[in-house]
Copies of this chain bind each other. A is one copy, B any other.
Amino acid sequence: MSDEPHFLKQATADESETKAMRIARKSATEATLEPLQLGQRVRAIRLSQNLTLEEASKRTGLARSTLSKIENEQISPTFSAVNKLVHGLGIDIPQLFAQPRTGASAGGRRDITRKGEGKPHPTPTYEHELLATQLTQKKMVPFRTRVHTRTFDEFDEWIRHEGEEFLYVLSGEILFYTEFYEPVTLNEGDSAYYDCTMGHALVSTSEQDAEVLWVTA
């Protein structure tokens, strides 16, 4: 993992950011990751369940007016509000943060992802490359992951979430830790299927980072 460039630190005169810079930075970041129309998605989900704002309000514990404003993208809900939404209505989590992109027509959907052209999503422990991100509303979420963890200590807690997961080792050797089993070594071509509610974690035991294919449902 690359460190923060040090040359940033020795700037003394440049330390103070001009207002112009700040504004530029602000609009830059917001431009790149703001097109996240949460509202549209919430409305679509609510309507698909034939719920009125009032009913959705009851389920989520959010005021009718608040829901309306969220759906019309007049406000950016707080984390706790999003949580209520997610749990109140059943919202597909991974999709929430994925870029929507204009999906194909309803009938025969198809999405091709070329090697290395998925959507990168690095984390401290894994380096994910999300596949088939053009399609939303999928049953499965596929991604290719580079495991650069080398010791189990690098995890501060189990990874644990809803659903089931299929794992296939593309290259390298990994140690597959699970909460209720002995850790097991997996080599290229080996695979595993498991309950995600059970804590799990991967560690690369090979020279290079191991690469795995993961599919969650």
Contact = CB atoms under 8 A, between A and B. Distances in A.
Interface of A: 1, 3-4, 6, 9-11, 13, 16-17, 19-20, 23-27, 29-30, 33-34, 36, 38, 44-45, 48-51, 55, 61, 76-84, 86-87, 89-101, 103, 105-116, 121-124, 126, 131-132, 135, 138-140, 142, 144, 150-164, 166, 168, 170, 175-184, 186-199, 203, 213, 215-217
Given A153-B19, A199-B24, A193 B135 contact: yes
The number of times this chain is found in the oligomer is: 2
Contact of A76 (B26, B55, B80, B135): B80
Nearest to A52: B4
A180 B33 CA distance: 23
Contacts of A38: 79
